């Protein structure tokens, strides 16, 4: 844990460098850390990348091309989740028009997010662009239409974070909180659980659940549900529900002409209380490591923050967009590279991600 003097250092630094995920509560006299799975996984992947992107907000300038594969996943994911949120808010209404949703609204959001810039991206090609995306949505609406969807929708896009709903750790000097958004909160008649939508490349290779069984994201949603469920469900019902599972709503982006209907699977992941306790400890240790790197950054600059160089050419299936920055001979040269090719944008803020 940072010492008292290091905490004072962070507090003073924050006065000139405010961050959405870190603040100082003058009333409590504590550092407040509110982070989500995206931020923590980014830091675990590479401390230097985290400081440049999630502390400084460094991003490629317009005109320097698509930053990397991760940007497609973020941009496409925002559009996709926005459409799914709209679907589950409206699909049982009498005036819901599936074509307006899957074609008109999809076109509007697709263009607003400028997804055509990724036309050469393999994932864009797999989904067959906007037309293929609209076809996928129409297929989804047919598969899970109102008279076929057995789940009761309790809430959509359940955000948590800065209101400090989900506490991970507290001491006289620090408080750590989890942030995030659960896609849909559902009741299947037996259990209340999050339903997390994930687009996958294909179901042809291996078990589609393998990539999510140890993923901290789904585990975090189960952990969160145990903390916030009373807000959405009457107290007398909570004891009739098992809050130790998440429903993964898997959707294949790839079009299989031999099995066009086999694009949707729903699989459940279970978590024991011990697994949830272990998850909590891992998150606390991850945040402590993040704060240690932040102190190094403040004291010595980004060039001295630990790096995981195995990700330099393998950052979400592509080259890290800070590759040319990190290969420079000095921090001055790194800053010159950043000045030439990057622009500072608002830092990732879980509860404020929008189109």
Token reading at 22:
């870190």
**DSSP codes, 172-192:** SSEEEEE-EEEEEEEE-SS-E
If one counts every other C-beta atom within 10 angstroms of the C-beta of residue 170, the result is: 12
**pLDDT of the residue at 257:** 55
* Alpha carbons 42 and 94: distance in angstroms, whole number: 43
* Alpha carbons 98 and 76: distance in angstroms, whole number: 20
* Alpha carbons 160 and 164: distance in angstroms, whole number: 7
Helix (H, G, I), strand (E, B) or coil at 336: helix
Q: Are 32 and 24 in contact (CB under 8 A)?
A: yes
Q: Which run of H or E residues covers position 267?
A: strand 264-270
Q: Which run of H or E residues covers position 222?
A: helix 216-228
Contacts of 3 (CB under 8 A, 6+ apart): none
Angle at 31 between CA 26 and CA 37, to 5 degrees: 135
Helix (H, G, I), strand (E, B) or coil at 200: strand
**pLDDT of the residue at 305:** 96
**DSSP codes, 309-326:** GGGSS-SSSS--TTHHHH
In three state form, how does the secondary structure of 132-155 look?
HHHHHHHHHHHHCCCCCCCCEEEE
Per-residue model confidence as pLDDT tens for the chain (355 residues):
677 778 899 999 999 999 999 999 999 999 999 999 999 999 999 999 999 999 999 988 765 555 555 578 888 988 999 999 999 999 999 999 999 999 999 999 999 998 998 888 888 888 999 999 999 999 999 999 999 999 999 988 888 998 999 999 999 999 999 999 998 999 888 888 999 998 887 776 777 888 899 999 999 999 999 888 877 777 766 665 667 899 999 998 877 655 556 788 999 999 999 999 999 999 999 999 999 999 999 999 999 999 999 999 988 777 898 999 999 999 999 999 999 989 998 898 887 765 5
Q: What is the DSSP letter of 17?
A: S
Helix (H, G, I), strand (E, B) or coil at 244: coil
Half-sphere exposure of 65 toward its Cβ, with a 13 Å CA cutoff?
6
- Displacement of CA 39 from its chain's centroid (Å): 8
CA end-to-end distance (rounded Å), the chain: 37
* Alpha carbons 106 and 133: distance in angstroms, whole number: 8
**pLDDT of the residue at 85:** 92
Angle at 159 between CA 249 and CA 183, to 5 degrees: 10
**pLDDT of the residue at 72:** 82
**What ranges do the domains of the chain cover?**
4-65+283-352
Q: Which run of H or E residues covers position 333?
A: helix 331-341
Q: Are 47 and 307 in contact (CB under 8 A)?
A: yes
């Amino acid at each position: 844990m940072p010492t008292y003097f290091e905490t004072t250092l962070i507090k003073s630094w924050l006065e000139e460098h405010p961050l959405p995920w870190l603040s100082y509560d003058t009333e409590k006299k504590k550092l407040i850390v509110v982070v989500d799975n995206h931020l923590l996984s980014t830091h675990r992947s590479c401390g230097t990348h985290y400081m440049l992107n999630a502390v400084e907000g460094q991003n490629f300038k317009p005109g320097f091309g698509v930053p990397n594969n991760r940007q497609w996943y973020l941009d496409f994911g925002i559009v996709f989740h926005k459409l799914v949120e709209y679907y589950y808010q409206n699909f049982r209404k009498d005036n819901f028009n599936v074509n307006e949703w899957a074609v008109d609204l999809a076109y509007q959001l697709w263009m607003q997010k400028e997804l055509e810039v990724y036309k050469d991206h393999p994932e864009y090609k797999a989904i067959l662009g906007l037309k293929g995306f609209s076809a996928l949505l129409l297929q989804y609406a047919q598969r899970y239409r109102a008279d076929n969807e057995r789940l009761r929708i309790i809430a959509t896009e359940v955000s948590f974070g800065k209101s400090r709903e989900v506490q991970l750790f507290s001491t006289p000097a620090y408080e750590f909180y989890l942030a995030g958004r659960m896609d849909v909160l559902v009741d299947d008649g037996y259990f209340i659980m999050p339903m997390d939508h994930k687009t996958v490349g294909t179901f042809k290779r291996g078990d589609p659940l393998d990539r999510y069984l140890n993923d901290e994201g789904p585990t975090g949603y189960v952990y969160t549900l145990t903390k916030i469920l009373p807000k959405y469900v009457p107290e007398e019902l909570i004891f009739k529900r098992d809050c130790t599972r998440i429903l993964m709503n898997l959707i294949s982006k790839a079009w299989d002409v031999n099995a066009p209907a086999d694009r949707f699977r729903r699989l459940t992941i279970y978590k024991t209380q011990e697994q949830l306790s272990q998850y909590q400890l891992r998150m606390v240790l991850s945040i402590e490591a993040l704060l240690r790197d932040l102190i190094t950054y403040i004291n010595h600059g980004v060039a001295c923050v630990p790096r995981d160089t195995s990700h330099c050419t393998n950052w979400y299936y592509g080259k890290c967009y800070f590759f040319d920055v990190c290969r420079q001979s000095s921090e001055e040269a790194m800053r010159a590279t950043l000045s030439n090719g990057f622009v500072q944008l608002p830092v990732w803020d879980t509860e404020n991600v929008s189109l």
